[in-house]
Amino acid sequence: MPCKIPKAAYSDLATIRKFVLYDVLLEVSPNYGYKRLCEALRKKLDYRKYEYLYYQIYNGNLEPNMPRFFSKSFSDLPMEVLDEIVSNLSAKESLGVRKVCRNLRDVIDQQKPNFKILKMCFDRNQSIILKIDDLDLKFPKDSYEEPLKRLENSLKSSRHVEKFELKLDDSQGSKSLVEMLRDVSSTRLKVGKAKISVENTDDALEILGFFEPGELKKIELEDTIAWRHGNVERLVEMDQFKQAEDVHIREFGVFDSESEILKKFLHLKRMVIKLNVLTKEVALYLKNVSF
């Protein structure tokens, strides 16, 4: 038998709200909770109002305004439903949806997406280029704060980045980018492929150290000044290099074919390097160890 409820409860919103809160805490579905409440009150309630109240409380609004007429919005859906929906949005779509309301913005910001590509380019006297998957943006050369913040947020939220590409010059924006990477890499970044083009080759090796060894399968380093003074000796001692499979440094540094450095490349499945001199003996040696 249904329990006896004082008649005052039939129209007392505070009492009804407590029943709905109880249903939410027990994770009772709205349909079942509505039927149960109608039985308890021995009165048929307005289901749309009950459902509205249910989802308002579910989303943390314990004092919802109950207008006589209303329409439930997309953002009032349960958080797990919203999470599933926004997880299928592209980067460009997420940027637009994020502006709709705070609720959706919070859901998107809590996502841990896998990015196909994150790319940022500083090129002398050119626009700053930022690419986040299918989202391509350009910024004036001196307006680096906004693209840096966007890149920082993407890195902080990412679960994995398939390809991370940077091109740096000697501008303040490039220096600020390196500083930002130092801050966000307290936990090493999970990146599959890294392409780093720099004027200061020490920056390339520092940035390389921000990536999780083992996750990083392909490394491309480039000295854009074309002096090729990159410190290959330091590179081959890094865990990121030792656990990589594919390394391209032809435009980064040059070393002697007869040095011990060459042997440290032999674990790779593929390498693109530049030697000062390639002797016949070294060529035969490389051929033999490759098969």
pLDDT in tens, 34-46: 888 888 887 888 8
Between 149 and 99, residue with greater pLDDT: 149
Q: Is the pLDDT of residue 223 over 90?
A: yes
pTM of the model: 0.69
* CATH number, domain with residue 228: 3.80.10
Q: Which domain holds residue 100?
A: 75-111
CA 285 – CA 279 distance, rounded (Å): 10
* Residue 83 or 179, more confident: 179
Claim to verify: residue 128 and residue 271 sit in the same structural domain:
yes
pLDDT at 74: 62
- Is there a domain that residue 204 lies in? yes
Q: What is the pLDDT of residue 112?
A: 80
Contact between residue 226 and residue 251 where contact means Cβ atoms under 8 Å apart: yes
Domain shared by 201 and 169, yes or no:
yes
Residues 283 and 263 in one domain: yes
Is 56 in the same domain as 91? no
29 part of a folded domain: yes
Domain presence at residue 209: yes
Domain-embedded: residue 282: yes
Could you tell me where the DSSP H helices lie in the chain? Answer: 13-25, 30-41, 47-58, 79-86, 91-97, 102-109, 145-157, 172-184, 201-208, 232-235, 239-242, 280-289
Distance CA 260, CA 233 (A): 10
The verdict on 21 and 143 lying in the same domain is no
Q: How far apart are the C-alpha atoms of 65 and 112, rounded to whole Å?
A: 33
Backbone angles phi, psi at 33, to 5 degrees: -60, -40
Judge contact between 9 and 41, C-beta under 8 A: yes
Average pLDDT (19-26) is: 83
Which pLDDT does position 118 carry in this prediction?
Answer: 96
Question: Domain tally for the chain?
Answer: 3
Query: Does residue 1 form part of some domain?
Result: no
Q: Is residue 127 part of a domain?
A: yes
- Split at pLDDT 50, 70, 90, the class of 4 is low
What percentage of the chain exceeds 70 in pLDDT? 88
178's tokens: 């390196």
Q: Is the dihedral of CA 131, 137, 141, 143 positive or negative?
A: negative
Residue with tokens 């220096």: 175
Structure tokens at 273: 């390097």
Q: Is residue 275 part of a domain?
A: yes
Position 176 pLDDT exceeds 60: yes
> What is the four-CA torsion angle of 203, 206, 207, 209, rounded to 10 degrees?
160
User: Between residues 248 and 99, which one has the greater pLDDT?
Assistant: 248
Q: Quote the pLDDT of residue 197.
A: 96
